[in-house]
Structure 1
Amino acid sequence: MKSLVNQLANYASYHRDRRNIYTHFIGIPLIVYALVVLLSRPSFTLSAELTLTPATLVVVISCVYYLFLSLSLGLVMTVLMAFALLGAAPLAALPWAQWLGWGVGLFLIGWVFQFIGHYFEGKKPAFVDDLIGLIIGPLFVVVELLFMLGLYKDLKAEVEQIAGKVR
């Protein structure tokens, strides 16, 4: 498994234009939330007390991965993903057509923002070359926000040393 710095620097190399990063602040959360909404409706009853959804499984696996990369950032991602799960439940409980409409609609709107950002960047999305970019994208957005707040300065310097500065 690549280190946190290597994962973020690789992803960042596709995202050095500030406008692209800003569109990702909207697009990636919409996509993640939409996926959680869509994966929250199917469920598997394991016992009278335990029902699992694909969303729960995907969130747990993602958060474990984030925790392996960085305990502190993994905890931040775990909290955010827990909120996504909680926020998805009301939409997943809607009638079928409304649930699907919200899920697919938010997913498509998120991707529109992504592609607008990559138009500004002049580069393809990172996941085209490396599918791990699909799981690193949400972490990247959180880390970029933390960088803007003046946090994780050493991590920012390491990422920028490899990927270059945001322009």
Structure 2
Amino acid sequence: MRDAATWFGNYSRDHQNPTNQLIHWICVPAITWTVVAFVWLIPVPHWLGRPGLWAVLAMFLAFCFYYYRLSRVIGLAMAGAFVALALFTDMIYGSIGFTGLMRLAIGVFVVAWIGQFIGHKIEGRRPSFFTDIQYLLIGPAWLMSKALGRFGVSY
């Protein structure tokens, strides 16, 4: 597994344009949330747990096997983000139910990916994940590293 500095350096090279970076600050968290929401919607047998169990397990596995191994600081920050995403998704699910959450997640997913492709058109480079699918996991971590850096925390 490559180290965080290598991943983030490569990702940064593909994201130099300030407009594309701004689009990523909006669209990457939105896409991350939609993935949580889609996994949240996978039915859970009543005897096994409540709605969202699979999403919580997926976030836990991503934390344990990817983000924490990439960087402990990034891993812990991503765990906090995952908790916030789970609470947010549970609140929405409680308010608008299964169908409402599905429709909202699909809408956000489509709009966010359109935004991503517009950003890459502006950048003049194809999305990083076309070269390595792991960049779909790196995008949120890259933004987290940037956010932490604004508070003087390095990964």
TM-based fold match above 0.5: yes
Measured after TM superposition, the shift of residue 26 of structure 1 is 0.3
The CA RMSD over aligned residues, in Å, is 2.0
> 89, 99, 102: which one pairs with 2:101?
99
Asked if the contact 2:41–2:98 (Cα under 8 Å) also holds between the matched residues in 1, the reply is no
Residue 117 of structure 2 is matched in structure 1 by 115
Counterpart CA distance in 1 for 2:47 and 2:80 is: 26
Q: Equivalent residue of 2:142, what SS?
A: helix
After superposition, the Cα gap between the structure-2 partners of 1:148 and 1:22, relative to the gap in structure 1 and judged at 3 Å, is: farther
Aligned match of 1:88: 89
> Partner of 2:15 in structure 1?
15
Q: Which amino acid aligns with 1:121?
A: E
Q: Secondary structure at the match of 2:30?
A: helix
1:123 Cα deviation from its structure 2 partner: 0.5
Shift of 1:128: 0.7
Q: Which amino acid aligns with 1:74?
A: G
Tell me which residue corresponds to 1:5.
5
| Partner AA of 2:16 in structure 1 | R
CA distance in 2, matches of 1:75, 1:99: 27
Structure 1 residue 151: Cα displacement: 3.9
Q: Structure 1 unaligned runs (5+)? A: 156-167
SS of the equivalent of 2:90 reads: helix
Q: Which moved more, 1:137-146 or 1:79-88?
A: 137-146
Amino acid at match of 1:135: L
Q: How does 1:30-69 map to 2 (within 5 A)?
A: 30-45=30-45, 47=47, 50-51=49-50, 53-64=53-64, 65-69=66-70
| 1:22 Cα offset (Å) | 1.1
Counterpart CA distance in 2 for 1:30 and 1:107 is 7
SS of residue paired to 2:15: coil
1:128 and 2:99 aligned = no
Does the Cα contact within 8 Å between 1:37 and 1:91 map onto a contact in 2? no
Displacement of 1:148 in angstroms is 4.0
Q: Give the stretch that moved more between structures: 103-112 or 124-133.
A: 103-112
Residue 144 (structure 1) shift: 2.0
Q: Distance in 2 between matches of 1:16 and 1:80?
A: 25
Query: Secondary structure of 1:88's partner?
Result: helix
Could you tell me which runs of 5 or more consecutive residues in structure 2 were left unpaired when the two chains were aligned.
none
Quickly say closer, same or farther: Cα 1:69–1:110, change in 2 above 3 A.
same
Distance (whole Å) between structure 2 residues aligned to residue 46 and residue 131 of structure 1? 34
Change (3 A) 1:113 1:147: farther
Paired residues, what number?
152
| Identity value in percent | 26
* Cα deviation digits, residues 137-159 of structure 1 (max 9, x gap): 1011111223344542xx6xxxx
